[in-house]
Chain A
Amino acid sequence: MSAVPESFQRYLAPTRLEQALAALAERAGGGGATVLAGGTDLMPQLHAGRVPAARTLLSIRRIPGLDGVAVEGGAVRIGALTTIATLLTDPLVREHAPLLAEAADHFASDQIRNAATLGGNICNASPAGDMLPPLLALDAEVELASLAPAGGVTTRRLPLDGYFTGPGRTQRGAHELLTAVHIGLPPGPRRARFYKAGTRPALDISTIAIAFAAGVGEGGRLRDVRLALGAVAPTPMRARRTEALLEGRVLDAALAAQAAACAADEAKPIDDVRATAWYRKQLVLNMTRRVLDDVAHQ
C-alpha cells in the first residue's frame, strides 16, 4: 500500500457549524483546514500528493443540518452532506429533480455512492464531475456559510452558473463552507435528460456528459432551456448559444441537428489519456442530437 507524507497535524470533527467555520477561518500557526466529507476524492488526492498542506483535517459529518432533502420556500434544499446514493432514491429528488437521480445512477459504484456527497462533488469542481452538469441544467444555487463579524453564522447564495472558475476552483472562499444546494421547483411541466458517454453504466470518469432541461409551454414550445456539458471545457459549462437557439422553439429533427452542431461548436475539449478533443466534439454533436430527439418524443 502506498503511504503518504504526513501533512495534517490535527483532526477535528466538530458538532456545531460555528466550530467548523472557526477552523476554516483560522490563520494562526500556519493554519487552514481541509474539509473532509465523504472522503472519496480527498483520500486519493492525499495519496497522490495533491492536497495542499493544511494544519487541520476537518470532518464535517457530525454537523447537524448539513444533510437531508426538504422542500422549503419554493425550492428543494439538498444538504451538502447528502450522499449520491440518497439522491438516487430520495422521493423528493425523484419527484422534483429527477435529472439528479438519473445522473446519480451513473456515478461511480454503489460503494462510492454511499460515501460521496453532493457538496463534495461540487467543491471538488472537476471538469468531469458527474453531478455538475445536471445541477447547472437545474439552475441550482449553492449556500455558503461563514462566521459573521458580530458572531454567529451568516450565509450567502451563489448561482452554480459562474461558480466554477477553473479546474478544481470555485468562488467559495477559504473561510466558507458549502452547506446546501437549492433547486427551484419548476413552474410547469419539464423535460429533462442526462447522458454520460462510456462503455459502462457507471464507474467511468466522463468522456463527456450532457444534461438537458427545459419547460414545455403552449404548442410544445421549449421554455427556459438549459443545456449543460461536462468534460468538454475547464469547467462544466452551459452551452448558451445552443440554449438561445432552442428557446421558444418546437423541437423537431432539423432543429435538433442544428442545435447539436451549435453545441459541438461551443464545447472546448482537450486531448487527454481518455479521449481526443476531436472525438469529444463528435460525441457532443451526435449525443446532443440524440438527447434532443429523445426529448422531442417524450
Chain B
Amino acid sequence: MSPTSEISFTLNGVHRRATVGLEMSALQMLRDVIGLTGTKYGCGEGECGACTISVDGKPVNACLLFALDCDGRDITTVEGLAGDARAQALAKAFVDHGAVQCGFCTPGMMVQATHLLATTPHPDAAAAQRAIEGNLCRCTGYRKIVDAIVAAGETR
C-alpha cells in the first residue's frame, strides 16, 4: 500500500480534509478523491491549461502541483467561481460572445481569465491573449474567448 497522508486546506471557500497519495497530483485529488470534475485533464504536463486552478490567489496547473502541497492553502476551482461576481460576469460574456464550443477548455479559461480581471480590470485584447497563452483551445480559434474577456472587463 503506497504511503498516504492527510492534508487540510480550504477548497472553494470551505475548509476540509483529504487523504492523498504521496505522488498524487492536485488534479488527481480534485477529480478522483474529492469528485470535482470541472477541472479537466488535458495533458498532465502543464502545457494545455485545462487543469488551471487558483491556489492562494494565483492560477497554476493542477497537474503539476503535488496534492500534498495543497496542505494549508486556499484553492479555488471552476466550481468555486459560482459565487464570484466577476467570474459570473465573465461566464455571461463567454455565453454571449460565443466563446464556448465543445467547452472542454472552458473551465481552465474561466479560472485563468477571472484572475486576469481581478488584477487587470480592463484588459485589452493583447493583454487577454498573453494571459491565456497557457490555455489551449482547438475549437474556437481564441477570437471569441478574447472578445468575451475584454467585454467582461469593459462592463465593470
Contact = CB atoms under 8 A, between A and B. Distances in A.
B9 interface: no
Interface string B121-139: 0000000001101110000
28 contacts: A1-B27, A6-B2, A6-B22, A8-B23, A9-B3, A10-B22, A13-B69, A39-B64, A43-B25, A43-B46, A43-B64, A44-B45, A44-B46, A46-B23, A47-B44, A59-B68, A59-B69, A109-B133, A110-B131, A110-B134, A112-B46, A112-B61, A112-B134, A114-B59, A115-B65, A202-B133, A203-B47, A203-B133
Interface residues of B, number: 34
Interface of A: 1-2, 4, 6-11, 13, 36, 38-40, 43-44, 46-47, 57, 59, 61, 85, 108-112, 114-115, 200-203
B153 interface: no
Contacts of A13: 68-69, 71
Interface in B59-114: 59-61, 63-66, 68-69, 71, 112
A61 B28 CA distance: 21
Contacts of A44: 44-46, 64
B143 to A, nearest CB: 17
A11 B3 CA distance: 9
B57 to A, nearest CB: 9
B133 A1 contact: no
A110 B68 contact: no
A85 B23 CA distance: 25
Q: Chain B interface secondary structure, helix, strand, loop or mixed?
A: mixed
Contact of A47 (B45, B58, B61, B133): B45
B69 A111 contact: no
- 7 smallest CB-CB distances across A and B, nearest first, come from A109-B134, A114-B58, A6-B2, A43-B64, A115-B60, A111-B61, A111-B134
B5 interface: yes
B69 A61 contact: yes
Contacts of B44: 1-2, 44, 47
A180 B46 CA distance: 26
A115 B70 CA distance: 12
A11 B68 contact: yes
A39 B23 contact: no
A159 to B, nearest CB: 31
Instruction: Name which of A1, A2, A85, A109 has the most chain B CB atoms within 10 A of its CB.
Output: A109
A61 B72 CA distance: 12
